[in-house]
């Protein structure tokens, strides 16, 4: 018996220690990015300053001058916010209809919506460039980026909302109907207050996906509507000279989203597995 | 308004928007894949405007199938996706089981672990290829240099020195060659997606039937056989879902390949389409249709699996 309790005592220390080590290893690259951002470009590549150096904020204060950071950041904020908003405006009524008045085809429609998400973007790269540049004339506009971000996330938005709305008892909505509340009233006064948490986490997650999107935002913009993904991709090869400032601008690009992500990690599971894993 | 029409009206905008988004560009790709269409040609300027008179039938498809690059890109796509899948599922399972028990600071461990998933792909690639994997200036280069210095120092010792003299000087690996840059991509994407696998497996582990496990313990089953016989079957479905979702995301991997592998010859299907798009739109479109077919094969499996649990 003594050995059993001893080994479990050892296990009580060993397993958590191992868990901590693994977590720190996974977090290390992010830590290193932030750490490097406080070094000067010269110090960042010198082994003697690997861990001990004089920290500086210059990389952050010069970010506007070096990279025009704020222009890209503002574009990211504008496009991600409006795309999220529009996706919700289109998605909430659709998910409401599917959750509370399902027809024979609802399941098929949901499946089909999901399948649009699986189309490889690269397959329609040239047609999209051609359409937006030569025919519609909306290439490199905020409108185009918002539209595309909204469309590529719409299936996930509808799916997530649908999973949340399904949890609401139908009777509550029916009771509203008995009282003669209009459909708009049902959505506004009954559904939205009840599903507020679900709608908020859907919005948060959509915002994160929009912010991190790197295919369409890079391919369909040049200057005017370019987002942070374009900025970073444009500086992909700093030739080792600018590690410090590159680390700073990268930190500024990911920090808000990583922190936002911490708050919605639970919803991520439901959102990305379409409610199939509980 | 009847009970039936209103729901239809409410979901119409979403359906129409997605229908346009799916059909218009895709039918253009289909059309371009059957005609000769290039962006620059001084010899045949008539090929520079899309027109039915440049009809080529299945010529573009034949051209693509005969191109060495196409088969290499398919092979490489499959290699990259499969490697990422194996790494993320194995690591994800191990870590999920490890942090499933409660211990001090578990909340913080969770937050640290999930963070890589939220890093934007462009930053992920720039960070790994420069600051971590660079053979001279990155951590890899510095670490290899440090090890060599230590070995050099040890060579001066009387008896041990003879032993260390046998050691070679280590060479840092350049991750910008064709094969190694594929490894770099696998490494950085696996780093980003292992947290996703952990999160899903953990969610699923928490719904595992504890009484079954207790019964097994009373029957004298070892922890290992419990894991194999109870936990793994319980996780079969989430594993399948992690595999499918990741396949879809990683088959269209682009930013990482673009940043890490530009010019190194390492390419996957989307990257090859990008290369063709610089001039030969016909070939790019035919390749695109192949990519759609490949994605559809995988999507069918995924939809079947997810579909079952949809309505309950």
Cβ <8 Å between B14 and A113: yes
- As a whole number, mean pLDDT of residues B70-77 equals 92
Q: How far apart are CA B185 and CA B257, in angstroms?
A: 7
What tens digit of pLDDT does each residue of B106-159 get? 889 999 999 999 999 999 999 999 889 988 888 998 899 888 888 888 888 877
- Non-local (6+) Cβ contacts of A167 within 8 A are A198
pLDDT tier for residue A239 given thresholds of 50, 70 and 90: low
pLDDT, position B31: 95
Give ipTM to 2 decimals: 0.88
- Give the C-alpha separation, A116 to A25, whole Å: 36
Q: What is the pLDDT of residues B263-301, one digit of tens each?
A: 778 899 999 999 999 989 999 999 999 999 988 887 787
The answer to whether A265 and B110 are in contact (CB under 8 A) is: yes
Does A265 sit within 8 Å of B200, measured CB to CB? no
Instruction: Compute the distance between CA of residue A177 and CA of residue A96 in angstroms, rounded to an integer.
Output: 14
Average pLDDT of the residues of chain B: 87
* Range among A203-217, B153-167, B251-265 with highest mean pLDDT value: A203-217
Q: How far is A240 from chain B (nearest CA, A)?
A: 7
* CB atoms B137 and A94 under 8 Å: no
- Cα(B103)–Cα(B82) distance, integer angstroms: 33
Contacts of B13 in chain A (CB under 8 A): 90, 93-94
Please provide the DSSP assignment of A77-108 as one string.
HHHHHHHHHHHHHHHHHHHHHHHHS--TTHHH
Q: Do B32 and A127 touch (CB under 8 A)?
A: yes
CB contact under 8 A, A90 and B123: no
Does pLDDT of B197 surpass 90?
A: yes
* Mean pLDDT value of segment B250-258: 89
Fold of A69-273: MetI-like fold (1.10.3720)
Domains of chain B: residue spans and CATH = 50-118+185-208+219-306 (1.10.3720.10)
- pLDDT reported for residue B306: 66
Q: Spell out which residues of chain A touch residue B117, defining contact as CB-CB under 8 Å.
A: 261, 268
Q: Which residues of A254-267 are buried (b: 16+ CB within 10 A; e: fewer)?
A: bbbbbeebeebbeb
Residues 277-296 of B with CB under 8 A from A: 277, 281, 284-285, 288-289, 291-292, 294-296
pLDDT at residue A6 above 60? no
- The percent of residues above 70 in pLDDT, for chain B, comes to 96
Tokens representing A169?
Answer: 């008892």
Judge contact between B253 and B189, C-beta under 8 A: yes
What residue ranges do the domains of chain A occupy? Answer: 2-58, 69-273
Query: With an 8 Å Cβ cutoff, are A258 and B310 in contact?
Result: no
| Alpha carbons B178 and B259: distance in angstroms, whole number | 13
Measured distance CA(B100)–CA(A18) in Å, rounded = 13
B284 vs A125: CB contact, 8 Å cut-off?
Answer: yes
pTM of the model: 0.89
pLDDT confidence of residue B312 = 45
B127 CB neighbour count, 10 Å cutoff: 26
C-alpha span between B263 and B246 (Å, rounded): 26
Kindly identify which residue of chain B lies nearest to residue A275, measuring between CA atoms: B310
Contact B14 A91 (CB under 8 A): yes
Which residues of chain A lie closer than 8 angstroms to B14, CB-CB? 90-91, 93-94, 113, 154, 158
């Amino acid at each position: 018996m003594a050995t059993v309790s001893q080994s479990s005592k050892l296990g009580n220390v060993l397993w958590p220690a191992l868990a901590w080590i693994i977590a720190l290893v996974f977090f290390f690259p992010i830590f290193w990015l932030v750490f490097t951002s406080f070094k000067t470009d010269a110090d960042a590549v010198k082994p003697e300053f690997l861990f001990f150096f004089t920290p500086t904020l210059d990389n952050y204060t010069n970010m506007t001058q070096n990279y025009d950071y704020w222009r890209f950041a503002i574009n990211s904020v504008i496009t991600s916010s409006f795309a999220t908003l529009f996706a919700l405006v289109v998605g909430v009524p659709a998910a409401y209809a599917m959750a509370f008045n399902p027809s024979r085809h609802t399941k098929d429609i949901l499946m089909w919506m999901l399948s649009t998400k699986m189309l490889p973007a690269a397959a329609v790269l040239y047609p999209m460039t051609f359409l937006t540049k030569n025919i519609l004339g909306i290439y490199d506009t905020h409108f185009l980026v918002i539209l595309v971000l909204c469309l590529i996330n719409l299936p996930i938005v509808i799916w997530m909302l649908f999973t949340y709305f399904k949890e609401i008892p139908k009777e509550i909505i029916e009771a509203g109907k008995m009282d003669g509340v209009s459909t708009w009233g049902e959505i506004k006064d009954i559904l939205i207050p009840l599903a507020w948490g679900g709608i908020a986490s859907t919005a948060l997650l959509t915002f994160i996906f929009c912010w991190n999107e790197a295919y369409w935002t890079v391919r369909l913009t040049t200057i005017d509507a370019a987002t942070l993904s374009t900025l970073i991709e444009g500086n992909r090869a700093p030739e080792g000279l600018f590690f410090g400032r590159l680390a700073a601008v990268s930190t500024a690009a990911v920090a808000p989203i990583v922190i936002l992500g911490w708050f919605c990690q639970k919803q991520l599971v439901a959102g990305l597995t379409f409610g199939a894993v509980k | 308004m009847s009970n039936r029409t209103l729901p239809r009206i409410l979901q119409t905008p979403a359906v129409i928007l997605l229908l346009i988004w799916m059909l218009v560009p895709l039918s253009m790709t289909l059309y371009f894949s059957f005609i000769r269409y290039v962006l620059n040609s001084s010899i045949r300027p008539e090929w520079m405007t899309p027109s039915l008179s440049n009809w080529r039938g299945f010529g573009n498809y034949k051209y693509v199938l005969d191109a060495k690059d196409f088969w290499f890109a398919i092979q490489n796509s499959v290699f990259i996706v499969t490697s990422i899948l194996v790494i993320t599922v194995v690591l994800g399972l191990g870590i999920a089981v490890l942090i499933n028990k409660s211990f001090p600071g578990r909340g913080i461990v969770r937050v640290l672990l999930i963070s890589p998933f939220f890093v934007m792909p462009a930053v992920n690639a720039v960070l790994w290829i420069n600051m971590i994997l660079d053979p001279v200036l990155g951590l890899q280069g510095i670490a290899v240099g440090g090890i060599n210095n230590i070995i050099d120092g040890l060579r001066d010792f009387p008896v041990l020195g003879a032993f260390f003299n046998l050691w070679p000087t280590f060479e840092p690996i350049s991750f910008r060659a064709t094969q190694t840059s594929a490894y770099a991509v696998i490494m950085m994407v696996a780093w980003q997606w292992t947290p996703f696998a952990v999160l899903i497996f953990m969610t699923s582990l928490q719904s595992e039937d504890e009484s079954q496990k207790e019964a097994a313990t009373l029957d004298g089953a070892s922890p290992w056989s419990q894991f194999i016989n109870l936990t793994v079957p319980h996780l079969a479905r989430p594993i399948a879902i992690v595999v499918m979702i990741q396949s879809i995301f990683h088959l269209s991997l682009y930013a990482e390949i673009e940043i890490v592998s530009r010019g190194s010859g390492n390419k996957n299907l989307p990257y090859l389409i990008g290369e063709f798009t610089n001039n030969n739109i016909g070939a790019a479109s035919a390749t695109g249709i192949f990519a759609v077919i490949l994605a559809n094969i995988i999507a069918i499996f995924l939809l079947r699996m997810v579909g079952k649990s949809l309505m309950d």
